[in-house]
Structure 1
Amino acid sequence: MDINKAPKFEKIFNKTMNSKLIHEGIVYIEDTNGDFSWCKGYGGKEIDSSLLMASITKLFTTACILILQEQGKLSLNNKISEFIDKDTLSGLHIYKSKEYSFELFISDLLFQVSGLPDKFEEKKNSTKRKVINQDFPFSFGELLHWTKELKPHFAPRTKGKAYYSDINFDLLGEIIEKVNGTTLAEAYQQLIFIPLRLEHTYLPQSEEDFVPNIYYKDQVLKRPKFICSCRASGGAVTTAREMMIFIKAFYGGKLFNKEIFDALTYYKKLQITMGPICYGGGFMRIALGGLLMPFMEKGDLLGHSGSTGSFAFYYPQKDLFFVGDVNQFANPALPIRLSMQLATGVK
């Protein structure tokens, strides 16, 4: 890549930071070998500042599942009822009077094709609406109870259907604990943090652990109880520097054999509220080009974004990685839009 594109990245970054919604931000861009590296912060945010990963945590959960599969401890073809008590699962997925709770596979969760509803986003009493006004903890058992009160959207593995739901990854977190014989935080440490030497990435366990504040419009939200409860679907904390190390390892084969991506790159478009995002086996795909960018060279961004403004994407067509955070809970499209704009800055 032409290093003269750095000024274009800076222009895009500066324009984005001019948004009235954004109070702080960080963007870090590198190629695989680090021959090209560009980073800029705003509002006091720097490359080693703590940031909330939110749903980028799902990539860490995905990595653990793939590592455990490589170790022969589970298979994506295992039913989740092999790891989670049937009494716990009973009533979780009843669609058109038929129960599918015991017919769910690990792969259904990973690919977001279980059809399970999402308590975080759905209904007027969603946890997203509630957490804007107050901090509160919740247990996995409570999350299951709330999910059972909602209606699934389709039968598992319905052709052409995918629905983004946090509960899919919360269930995967429970499976990781069962199979690894540790807490999820210990599994992350053992399988990811130690091998990659990540010293400032962690899953908060209590209010004593540092949890970055979140912006909702102009309001500063301090929500440690809620973040500690999110766990496998959105509870981890990191820095831009260490998120770059992780995303390179995830797609570069340092954590698991990257040949597994041959089986993970079957993408389905998510619900309409998720915009242009499609989902594969544990990660997002955002297609570039098309009607929105008619002059853009075709390609894809692979990775994940978070509802609090975080993003970590790989642009394989140009061998570039984009990570960062705009820390704004009011508009989850912001990190997606910024990532796509940064990609258009590459020739």
Structure 2
Amino acid sequence: MKTKNYDDLFDKYIQSKKIYESIILIEKGTGETIFSKAYGKKDIDSPIIAASITKMFTAACIFILIQQGYMTLNDNLLNFYEPAYLKGLHVYKGKDYSCELKVSDLLYQTSGLADIYEEGKNSVKKQAIISDTFITFDKNIALTKEKDAHFPPNYKNNAHYADINYNILGDIIEKVTECSLERVFEKYIFSKLNMTRTYLPVSEKEYIPMVYYGDKQLYRPQFIVCSKASGGCITSARDLMIFIQAFFHGWLFDKKILDLKLYKKLQLSMFPIYYGSGYMRVKMGGFSTSFLGQGDLIGHSGSTGSFAFYYPNKELFFVGDFNQMKYPTLPIRFVMQLAMFAP
């Protein structure tokens, strides 16, 4: 009966929106497959754009490097950058907080930095929909400096989702390891977990899938390549399942480093999402789920329709992709409903 519910829900989402290809995989923590279904040209091993799920890969590497003594969560950004480079990055009500930012502020999305990807009439996302765009890390920093921050670093219970936080974390990883981010990901995650279909592309010569925006197909290889630590990975449903289980089971790092009690509520436009140690938390049983379900969903979704979530209450893992940019809340609403059907 539960499998039929999953099947019916999947079909409903496919039919109600402009979804041209999709994949879903549900497993227990034991590795037993509960449900799997594909639509269009997708299958369990098809390349998909991980988009912001990449942030979990970046967070995992930060945790590994902390355990190896490369850094701490309390390290100030001045440990990695000259004051002149940081100056003007974080300005709130006329005061410059740039040199007070810490690694933890970036990881937990509590820096208060503006998000150039989503914010403004000429946001990076809007530009990327129109045409392919490559933005260097330095340009990311410069564009962020043009916008006022939303609050001081680590202010009360505030959090503001911004790709720049993870772009900086990715740059810090490269600085402390003296290796490219793609090599660090490969060494600490992909090779270790035998994720043979996952990679961080560094040029247009590598395969990068197209994504739909409504009924329009977009091919944006330069934008994917420059997204790196915040959204640049290419993966598959099978590999995503391996990773999400490894992340929360502690197969990559000591899971004690994941503070499962420390979550910050994101900006209203991200409702009902909270942010933790490199991942999202969606609380079940509230208004957004008609007061049905219990516990939390923890994991990440991506702007291209990808998702990877863990439901601890039922020890279930949900991964998949809708390959559709027009409806960014679609994967989260879908997974919430999947969790409500969980036996």
Q: TM-score, normalised by structure 2?
A: 0.98
Matched ranges for 1:14-53 at <5 A: 14-53=11-50
Q: Secondary structure at the match of 2:191?
A: helix
Matched, 1:308 2:318: no
Could you tell me which residue of structure 1 aligns to residue 293 of structure 2?
297
Matched ranges for 1:34-113 at <5 A: 34-113=31-110
Give the distance between the partners of 1:265 and 1:254, measured in 2 at CA.
20
Give the distance between the partners of 1:151 and 1:339, measured in 2 at CA.
34
Residue type of the partner of 1:292? S
Residue type of the partner of 1:80? L
Give the distance between the partners of 2:31 and 2:200, measured in 1 at CA.
27
Residue type of the partner of 1:304? H
1:272-296 Cα distance to aligned partner (Å, 9 max, x none): 1112000012110000112233452
Q: 1:342 aligns with which of 331, 338, 343?
A: 338
Give the distance between the partners of 1:108 and 1:175, measured in 2 at CA.
13
Could you tell me which residue of structure 1 aligns to residue 323 of structure 2?
327
The offset of 1:99, in angstroms, is 1.1
Residue type of the partner of 2:283? A
**Range with bigger deviation, 191-200 or 58-67:** 191-200
Give the distance between the partners of 1:154 and 1:20, measured in 2 at CA.
36
Matched ranges for 1:1-347 at <5 A: 4-261=1-258, 263=259, 265-294=261-290, 296-347=292-343
The offset of 1:86, in angstroms, is 2.5
Give the length in aligned residue pairs. 343
Residue type of the partner of 1:207? E
- For the aligned residue pairs, the C-alpha RMSD in angstroms reads 1.1
Report if the CA contact (8 A) 1:265-1:281 is conserved.
no
Q: Secondary structure at the match of 1:186?
A: helix
Question: How high is the sequence identity, in percent, across the aligned residues?
Answer: 50
Residue type of the partner of 1:186? R
Q: Secondary structure at the match of 1:18?
A: helix
Q: TM-score, normalised by structure 1?
A: 0.97
**Range with bigger deviation, 122-131 or 35-44:** 35-44
> Which 4+ residue blocks in structure 1 deviate beyond 3 angstroms?
none
The offset of 1:264, in angstroms, is 5.1
Give the distance between the partners of 1:281 and 1:258, measured in 2 at CA.
11
The offset of 1:19, in angstroms, is 2.4
The offset of 1:36, in angstroms, is 3.9
Report if the CA contact (8 A) 1:84-1:175 is conserved.
no
Q: Secondary structure at the match of 2:106?
A: helix
